[in-house]
Amino acid sequence: MALERSKRLVEGGRDVVILLDSITRLARAYNLAVPPSGRTLSGGIDPIALYPPKRFFGAARNIEGGGSLTIIATCLVDTGSRMDDVIYEEFKGTGNMELHLDRKLAERRIYPAIDIQRSGTRREDLLLDENALRQVITMRRMVSMLGGTEGTELLLGRLAKTQNNLEFLVTLTRDV
C-alpha cells in the first residue's frame, strides 16, 4: 500500500523516500507466507519468497520531468543465519550504493561506524570529476593500508579538521 501510494506521488511530480528496515525481515516474512514452490535455496528460503521484496526494492525510479522514488533499505548480515546471507547476496548487486557499518568501531564509540573499505557508490565516476575521483581512490587505498579501525580513525580525525569535502581532498593530495 505504501509503495503504490509512493508511486502515485512520484507520478504527480513529488520526490519520495521510503526507508525499509529491513529487507531481510521482509523476505523472511514472505518465506513464511508464500505457498511452497517445491524448491529451496541454501538457508531454507523458497526462491518465490524473494520476488516480492525484489519488486519492492526495484520500484525505485526517477521520472523525467516528474518526481523520483528512492528506496533506502537495511539488510542484516553476519548474523550467523545462512538464510540472511542468501538474502543479502540476492540484493547485494541491485543497489546504487552500499553502506556497511563496523561493529568494532561502534564498540570503541567511534562514530560514524562506517566500514570505509566495504562501503561505496557504484558509479563514483558519474558523481565526481576526474581529479576528485583520483583523490578518493587514494584515500581508500590509504585507509586500506592502515587497516579498518586505525584507517577510519585517521580519516575521521582529518575530516574534523576541514570545513568541506574539497578542503579535505586537497589536504590528502598535499600530504601524499
Write out pLDDT tens, residues 35-84: 888 888 888 899 999 999 999 888 888 888 778 999 998 888 888 889 99
pLDDT, average across residues 15-22? 91
Residue at which a domain ends, from 50, 71, 95:
95
167's grid cell: 578542503
- Would you give the distance in Å from CA 101 to the centre of its chain? 10
- Would you give the distance in Å from CA 132 to the centre of its chain? 21
pLDDT, average across residues 78-101? 87
Sheet with 68-73, strands from edge to edge, namely 15-20, 68-73, 61-62
In this structure, are residues 115 and 76 in contact, taking their beta carbons and an 8 Å threshold?
no
Q: Are residues 2 and 66 in the same domain?
A: yes
Q: Are residues 2 and 80 in the same domain?
A: yes
Q: What is the pLDDT of residue 176?
A: 60
Q: Are residues 56 and 80 in the same domain?
A: yes
Q: Are residues 113 and 74 in the same domain?
A: no
Q: Are residues 29 and 88 in the same domain?
A: yes
Total tally of structural domains belonging to the chain: 2
Q: Are residues 70 and 109 in the same domain?
A: no
CATH number of the domain that residue 19 is part of: 3.40.50.300
27's grid cell: 523476505
Q: Are residues 141 and 64 in the same domain?
A: no
Residue at which a domain ends, from 51, 69, 95:
95
Which residue segment(s) compose the domain that 70 sits in? Answer: 1-95
User: Has residue 162 got a pLDDT over 80?
Assistant: yes
pTM here? Answer: 0.74
Q: What value does the mean pLDDT of the chain take?
A: 86
Q: Are residues 73 and 54 in the same domain?
A: yes
Residue at which a domain ends, from 95, 128, 146:
95
Which DSSP symbol is given to 72? E
Nearest to 36 by CA among 46, 27, 44: 46
pLDDT, average across residues 112-135? 86
Q: What is the pLDDT of residue 27?
A: 93
Q: Are residues 89 and 5 in the same domain?
A: yes
Please classify residue 36 by burial: count the beta carbons closer than 10 Å to its beta carbon, then call 0-12 exposed, 13-18 middle and 19+ buried.
exposed
Q: Are residues 148 and 61 in the same domain?
A: no
Cβ partners under 8 Å of residue 23, min gap 6 = 53, 56, 57, 73, 74, 75, 87, 91
Amino acid identity, residue 135? Q
Please classify residue 123 by burial: count the beta carbons closer than 10 Å to its beta carbon, then call 0-12 exposed, 13-18 middle and 19+ buried.
exposed
Q: Are residues 69 and 112 in the same domain?
A: no
User: Has residue 172 got a pLDDT over 80?
Assistant: no
Q: Are residues 108 and 150 in the same domain?
A: yes
